Each structure stands twice: as structure tokens, then as C-alpha cells.
Amino acid sequence: MYKLIVMVVFFLSYLNAESEYELGSGVQVGSLPLFVGGYLSLDYKMGEDSDTYRLNDIAFLAYGTNSKFSYLGEFEYKNFYTQTYAADKITTHQDRRLYAERLYLEYNHDENYKFKIGKYNSPVGFWNLLPINVLRQTTSNPITSDILFPTFTTGVGISRTSFREYELKVEFMLQNNEDLDDEYNSYEIDEHYGINILYEKDDFSLKLNGGYFHRIETASSDKSLYYFLLSMKYEKEKYQLMGEVGEQFSKERVTTPYAGYIQGLYRLSEEHIASLRVESYDDSVANIKESVGIVAYTYRPLYPIALKSEYQFHSIESKNQFIFSFSVLF
Amino acid sequence: MKWETKICINLLAFSVVSFGGEYAVITNKQMKSLTRAEIKAIFLKKMIFVEDVKVVPINLQARNRLRNKFEKELLHMSFTRLKKYWTKEHYLGHRAPLSMKSQASIKAFVTKVDGAVGYIDATNIDKTIKVIYRWRD
């Protein structure tokens, strides 16, 4: 039933949108403190042994602000339709469940303090905060954002930000319950305690993250895990440099001695963007040590529309692949 | 350097100072003084409250000459970069500041609304508003 409500509100809002509507900015529902929007993504992967076509994300966003409170809900179909060609066989997979990707209420106490409750993107690193295809630089995600920490937190968030000649933010993530919807979290967890320290001055940002989480469904003996991540970003009009590096360990052993990437992006023009990413990681649990080089090109006829292509060179050659995607934010 | 050259340079410098525009970021009289970094944080909607008063940043319309100058001087961001910023913020549940058609509307709004912050030509400054930042071309 809630699927129907989400879609009816969504489509009626767009039908009644003012003529000044701009793609990528959502629409307001009447004069209510409610804005709706969404995004979708299609991709094609050509690997060494298989080809995959996928309608990946169809997502709906709703958010608003009223006095000191603001809220956000994001509901999403993931892997909505997937068709794979491998060894002369065609397999299809459909997932028609609407997942609660993010759902939280935020309270702005004053100019420094904010409190948040619900499910939100763990504010770890830079990549994890803009995880949707249309906003990130490449269709693929760096491995750092998948294996080191829980990508989502369901619990409380507390932050203090001070604005001097620079911005300094200290934020705590506190989870002591099961996930609101754990299907697409990188780990199924029932505890997550993390800290995020952000320093930002002009075009330069530096982040330090550390935390602990407890896994509930795992064959591995490493249920209690610790992580840290150091991230930096430097952005100018024409180019951007971004990098993240971290480690994960339990009390018994180092589960991921290192996982990191560095990515450079150059805007040839407003529409044409070239990027290069080098990743490397050592996953002791899966016993994989790998390096990846990614060359990518993105065409954005408008910023909220992205046509992206990338080629991945893996040190494990059978994993080399070409990826093409179309994504849009509305 | 010849004396004629020196005179020419001085005249040129004088004309720039005399005829270059001067602009101001303005607030309601009740607002405390703000640093440049705080003004930037307000216009990027990172800072929502100042001393328990909700701040309301007001822009001139897109591609307005003064708006472009403000964004370059205070935010250090181009129009294109800001469009990207607000597209990303839409995903994070934040809206771009409201915009008004004229400096007169901004001044009237700032005078009446607690927490309102805008920018105008310095020639439009009077006692009804508080100037928190000035800059020149």
C-alpha cells in the first residue's frame, strides 16, 4: 500500500510542478514543507565471461523543513531488473521490493549542534555521502566504501560544527539496534559507534573517521570489528583530487590491512569530464589482494543527467570490465 | 620609471578606486556581526541558526551581475559550481536559498524579517539595515 502512496504523491507533485522547475531540484507539494524528487540508473557491464544489463536504481525522495526540524525519506527499488548473458545462457533477475534506503528526522538545536535519528548514510569518508550513480564520478564504487565500514547507520547522530575561517565538524554515529532495512547495508549489524572529524577550508577538506561495529549474520569469527579511514578532497573549478585510505581489524587480527584509492578528475568542459582512479586493497578475510586502475569519461548534457563509461584494469585479469551507465536525478 | 608613467599609473589606480563598485552584505538590525566564513556557511545552508534565530539567506536571481560578484567574492564559487552543489544538496534534502528580483525587495525583506541576510550595492545602504561585510570590485 505504501508503494502506491509514494508513487501517487510523487507523480501528482510533478504534474503540478511550477513552470520554473529545474531538473535535479525536485518539486514542492503544494505549499507544504514537502519536496519530492528521485533518481534512476541503468547500466551495462561487459566482463571477460558475461554481459549484464541492469535497471538498477529507481528511487523516490521526500524531504522538508519545519522550524528546527527537518526530515528525509528515500525509498528505492534496487536491481529492479537484471539480465545476464553468460556461456550462451540468459538469466534474468527481478527485485520488486521497495527498500527504505534513508529515513530520518533531524533537529537543528542552534548554530552549532544538530541531532539526527533514523537511518542515514554513515558520514564516513566523502564517497559514502553521495553514493548514487548520477552524483558520483564513476559508475563503480571504490572498494574502500564497501569493505571497511557499514555504509548505513540506524540510530542517533550528534554533530557540532564551528565556523571560523575554516569549518570544523565533529560528529558521532550511535547505533544499538538492528538496521531499519539491512538489505543493502554493506554489513548486517546491530551496533555501530563511530566518530567523524571534518576540517574544511576553502577548496580543501580533510576527514578522519574511526569506529566499531558488530555483525550479526556472518560465518566469519570476526563479529566485532574496528575501522579507521583518512580522506582528503581538493576541488577547483577545473579539477578535483580525492583520496581515501583505511584499515579494518578485530581484536584477534587485521581483517583489512589497507584499502584505499586516489582519484583525479578533470573537467574538459561543463559537459565533458575525464577521470582516473587507482585503487588497492588487501582483504585478509576473503584472501584477496588486488589493485585496480579505472579510466572513465562522463558526459553531462545537464548536470543531473550523466552518461558514463569506464574501463577497469584489474591486477586479477579475469575481472577486467567495461561499464556504461545512464543516470538522472529529478 | 619616468614621471609621466608614474602619473598615468596613479590616475589609473585612482579611477579604479573611485569608479569600481562597492557592495555590502546586509542583515536585520538585530543580527550579530558575522564573519566571512559564517556568511558563506549561511548561503550554502550549512549554518541554519544564528543565536537561536533561523537565518534566511536571500539571493538575487540567477545570472544577476551582483549575485555573480557576491558568489565569487564570498563563496569563491562560480555559477556552474554552485548549480552542482545544489543538485547534490537536493539529494541530501537541502534547498537553495530563495531569490528575489531586485535589491529593493531584498532590502525590504531584510528590514522586516529577523535572520534575513542579503546583499546590495553600497549606494542603497541606509539606517534601516545593518552592514556586516563590504567589498569592492
**All structural domains of chain A:** 2-329 (2.40.160.10)
Residue B8 predicted with pLDDT over 60: no
Task: List, in order of start, the domains of chain B with CATH numbers.
Answer: 21-136 (3.40.190.10)
Q: Which of B49, B91, B93 sits opposite A111 (nearest CB)?
A: B49
Name the DSSP class of B96. Answer: P
Rounded Cα distance, B4 and B19, in Å = 22
| CA dist., res. B25 & res. B70, Å (int) | 9
B6 pLDDT above the threshold of 80:
no
Q: By the CB < 8 Å criterion, does B49 face chain A?
A: yes
Q: Would you call A210 helix, strand, or coil by DSSP?
A: strand
| Pick from A137, A135, A288: nearest CA to B88 | A135
The reported pLDDT for the residue numbered A14 is 66
User: Rg of chain A's alpha carbons, rounded to an integer?
Assistant: 20
Distance CA A296, CA A32 (A): 41
Q: Do B37 and A165 touch (CB under 8 A)?
A: yes
Q: Could you please report the per-residue DSSP string of A126-178?
A: TGGGS-STTTSSSSSPPTHHHHSS-SEEEEEEEEEEEESSSEEEEEEEEE-S-
Candidates A72, A167, A203; nearest CB to B41: A167
Tens digit of pLDDT per residue, chain A (330 long)? 556 666 666 666 666 655 567 898 899 998 899 999 999 999 999 998 899 999 989 999 999 998 899 999 999 998 899 999 988 899 999 999 999 999 999 999 988 999 999 999 999 999 999 889 999 999 999 998 889 999 999 999 999 999 888 999 999 999 999 998 877 789 999 999 999 999 999 899 999 999 999 999 767 778 899 999 999 999 999 999 999 999 999 999 999 999 999 999 999 999 999 999 999 999 998 899 999 999 999 999 999 999 999 999 999 878 999 999 999 999
Is B91's CB within 8 Å of A70's CB?
A: no
Q: Which of B35, B54, B91 is nearest residue A132 as measured by Cβ atoms?
A: B91
* The pLDDT value given to residue B95: 94
Interface of B with A in 1-20 (CB under 8 A): none
Average pLDDT over residues B79-92: 93
Q: What is the pLDDT of residue B93?
A: 94
A204 in contact with chain B, both atoms CB, cutoff 8 A: no
- Asked if A69 reaches chain B (Cβ–Cβ under 8 Å), the answer is no
| pLDDT for the residue A182 | 74
Q: Which of A39, A110, A329 sits opposite B52 (nearest CB)?
A: A110
- Put simply, whether B129 touches A (Cβ < 8 Å) is no
Helix (H) or strand (E) holding B85, with range, is helix B79-91
Res A286: pLDDT? 87
> Distance between CA B96 and CA B113 in Å, rounded?
18
Q: What is the CA radius of gyration of chain B?
A: 17
Question: Does residue B85 have a pLDDT over 60?
Answer: yes
Q: Chain B partners of A203 at a C-beta cutoff of 8 Å?
A: 76
Cross-chain Cβ contact B54/A63 below 8 Å: no
CA of A171 vs chain B CAs: smallest distance (Å): 14
A17 in reach of chain B (CB within 8 A): no
Strand extents, DSSP E, A68-146: 69-86, 89-94, 98-108, 113-121
pLDDT for A83:
95
3-state secondary structure string, B25-41?
EEECCCCCCCCHHHHHH
The whole-angstrom distance between B13's CA and the closest CA on chain A is 29
Burial string for A36-56 (b: 16+ CB within 10 Å, else e) reads bbbbbbbbebebeeeebebbb
Beta bridge partners of A4: none
Each residue's pLDDT tens digit, A193-223: 999 999 999 899 999 999 999 999 767 778 8
The reply to whether B104 touches chain A by the CB within 8 Å rule is no
Distance from CA of A191 to the nearest CA of B (A): 24
Please report the pLDDT score of residue A52 as a whole number. Answer: 95
The secondary structure of residue A184, as a DSSP letter, is G
Handedness of CA A161, A162, A164, A166 (dihedral sign): negative
Q: Is A251 on the interface with B (CB under 8 A)?
A: no
Query: What is the percentage of chain A residues whose pLDDT exceeds 70?
Result: 94
ipTM: 0.89
A10 touches chain B (CB under 8 A): no
Instruction: Give the mean pLDDT of B19-48.
Output: 90
Q: Does B62 touch chain A (CB under 8 A)?
A: no
Minimum distance, in Å, between the CA of residue A156 and any CA atom of chain B? 17
pLDDT of B16 above 50: no
Q: Does A33 touch chain B (CB under 8 A)?
A: no
**Identity of residue A54:** R
- Predicted local confidence at residue A285, as pLDDT: 87
B22-27 and A321-329 beta bridge pairing:
unpaired
Assess A18–B contact: CB distance below 8 Å, yes or no: no
